Amino acid sequence: MDEVVDEIGAFEAKTRLSELLRQTERGRSFVILRRGKAVARLVPPGHESAAAGRRAAVDALHEIRRGIAGKVEVRGLIERERRYQ
């Protein structure tokens, strides 16, 4: 499921903070921009821990991949693991 994140300028975010907080409570996320550059995210509680968990999983997979020489045949790895269970 792709998350929809709205962008909003810093000045507008400041003037509409109460409204943005209400929308965030309902699950909406915002990226706050300053001069067109993303500087902050306003996300519902718990969102950041889920994102951190996904990032940790991806990092772990990259670490595993670095330890395997040559081409990786995922199906073969799965079948090999099933044989050892």
Enumerate domains of the chain plus CATH numbers.
1-45 (3.40.1620.10), 46-85 (no CATH)
pLDDT of residue 85: 67
Whether the predicted pLDDT of 3 surpasses 70: no
Sequence-distant (6+) residues with CB within 8 A of 47 are: 29
Q: How far apart are CA 60 and CA 54, in angstroms?
A: 10
pLDDT of residue 42: 93
Using alpha carbons, select from 36, 37, 27 the residue that is nearest to residue 1.
Answer: 27
Instruction: Pull the structure tokens for residue 59.
Output: 């990092």
pLDDT in tens, 17-59: 999 999 999 989 999 999 999 999 998 887 766 677 788 888 8
pTM for the model: 0.53
